[in-house]
Amino acid sequence: MKILLVEDEEAIRSGLTDLLVYHGYQVECARDGEEALNKAREQNYELVILDIMLPKIDGFTVCETLRREKPSTPIIMLTAKDAEEDVIAGLSLGADDYVTKPFSLKELLLRIEAILRRVYPDVATREIILLGAEFEIDLSACEVKDLCSPENAVAKLTFREADILRYLYRQKHRAVSRDELLIEVWGYRKESGIETRTVDIHIAKLRQKIERDTQAPQYLVTIRSKGYQLQGFRESE
Ligand code: CA
């Protein structure tokens, strides 16, 4: 999922970029309205996050132009607090949603996810991960198909195992620590006692299902002193 972030304030731009990349999105930035329109014309984004007060061309004009030229690209506007008329103007120019500054990052993330689920239901529900040419994982069905076995033998995943894979896949460009898995997958709070053994046991069980050689994992890889990372997957079409 590629997001175009249009924001002239450096601090917000870099903070948001870090957050979105951390959550598995690809992000490109534009610093003013002109750059935003140029980028949006050059390639397709799944979502545009658009500030209103921008140099060169303001956010309203960008919104209106995008709506005309890229009618299906969802737009979330960033508006100043207490600027109700901005919200109304933005929505009437075709923005799909808005978040008022200063916004909580969690709130913005939830808005983004909600819009993406609504606009791209197929992508959201398609949960197939291919590991090399060996395994096909269907996360929603909690199944792993061994593509090399004569009858494509199927192993069942527990919900927890599927959640771990789903999370690792969403963070696929980086390693994920055990603490992070405990917080994000198990829902443990940071301050609670961290039971890293729990994670290791689940990883070991997962490897029995998605690795040929559990002693030399190719897909669910340990990155030393960083955690676990999913590697060797192919993007399914
Ligand atoms: Ca601004």
Band of the pLDDT at 120, cuts 50, 70, 90? Answer: confident
Q: Which residues contact 187 (CB under 8 A, 6 or more apart)?
A: none
Q: Let me know: does 167 contact 184? Beta carbons within 8 Å.
A: yes
Q: Ligand 1 centroid vs 30 CA: distance in angstroms?
A: 11
Q: Ligand 1 centroid vs 224 CA: distance in angstroms?
A: 41
Asked whether residue 155 carries a pLDDT value surpassing 90, the answer given is: yes
Q: Ligand 1 centroid vs 62 CA: distance in angstroms?
A: 13
Element containing residue 220 per DSSP (H, E) = strand 220-223
Higher pLDDT, 82 or 228: 228
Asked whether residue 234 carries a pLDDT value surpassing 50, the answer given is: yes
Sign, CA torsion 112/11/30/84: positive
Higher pLDDT, 79 or 4: 4
Q: Ligand 1 centroid vs 57 CA: distance in angstroms?
A: 11
Q: What is the pLDDT of residues 13-28, one digit of tens each?
A: 999 998 888 777 889 9
Q: Ligand 1 centroid vs 216 CA: distance in angstroms?
A: 50
Q: Let me know: does 91 contact 98? Beta carbons within 8 Å.
A: yes
Q: Ligand 1 centroid vs 31 CA: distance in angstroms?
A: 9
Q: Is the peptide bond before 121 cis (omega within 30 degrees of 0)?
A: no
Q: Ligand 1 centroid vs 9 CA: distance in angstroms?
A: 6
Q: Ligand 1 centroid vs 51 CA: distance in angstroms?
A: 6
236 within some domain:
no
Do 114 and 21 belong to one domain? yes
Q: In what order do the strands lie in the sheet with 26-30?
A: 26-30, 2-6, 47-51, 75-80, 97-101
Q: Ligand 1 centroid vs 86 CA: distance in angstroms?
A: 13
Q: Let me know: does 134 contact 199? Beta carbons within 8 Å.
A: no
Q: Ligand 1 centroid vs 43 CA: distance in angstroms?
A: 23
Looking at the 3D structure of the chain, how many domains does it have? Answer: 2
The pLDDT of 71-91, averaged and rounded, is 87
Domain extent at residue 185? 128-230
Closest residue by Cα to residue 92 from 71, 67, 116: 67
145 within some domain:
yes
Asked whether residue 30 carries a pLDDT value surpassing 90, the answer given is: yes
Q: Ligand 1 centroid vs 2 CA: distance in angstroms?
A: 21
Q: Which residues contact 222 (CB under 8 A, 6 or more apart)?
A: 228
Cα 212 to Cα 219: distance, rounded to the nearest angstrom: 10
Asked whether residue 95 carries a pLDDT value surpassing 80, the answer given is: yes
Q: Ligand 1 centroid vs 50 CA: distance in angstroms?
A: 9
Q: What is the pLDDT of residues 32-67, one digit of tens each?
A: 999 999 999 999 999 999 999 999 999 999 999 999
Band of the pLDDT at 237, cuts 50, 70, 90? Answer: very low
Cα 186 to Cα 189: distance, rounded to the nearest angstrom: 9
Closest residue by Cα to residue 7 from 97, 88, 70, 80: 80
Cα 48 to Cα 178: distance, rounded to the nearest angstrom: 32
16 within some domain:
yes
Pairing mode, if any, of strands 143-146 and 154-156? antiparallel
Q: Ligand 1 centroid vs 35 CA: distance in angstroms?
A: 14
Q: Ligand 1 centroid vs 168 CA: distance in angstroms?
A: 34
* pLDDT reported for residue 190: 65
Angle between helices 84-92 and 59-69 (to 10 degrees): 20
Do 160 and 203 belong to one domain? yes
Do 111 and 151 belong to one domain? no
Q: What is the pLDDT of residues 177-202, one digit of tens each?
A: 998 898 888 877 765 566 778 889 89
Cα 77 to Cα 48: distance, rounded to the nearest angstrom: 8
Q: Let me know: does 236 contact 129? Beta carbons within 8 Å.
A: yes
Q: Ligand 1 centroid vs 53 CA: distance in angstroms?
A: 4
Percent of the chain with pLDDT over 70: 94
Q: Ligand 1 centroid vs 52 CA: distance in angstroms?
A: 6
Q: CATH code at 26?
A: 3.40.50.2300
Q: Ligand 1 centroid vs 98 CA: distance in angstroms?
A: 14
Do 157 and 115 belong to one domain? no
Domain end (from 119, 153, 170): 119
Q: How far is CA 5 from the centre of its chain?
A: 14
83 within some domain:
yes
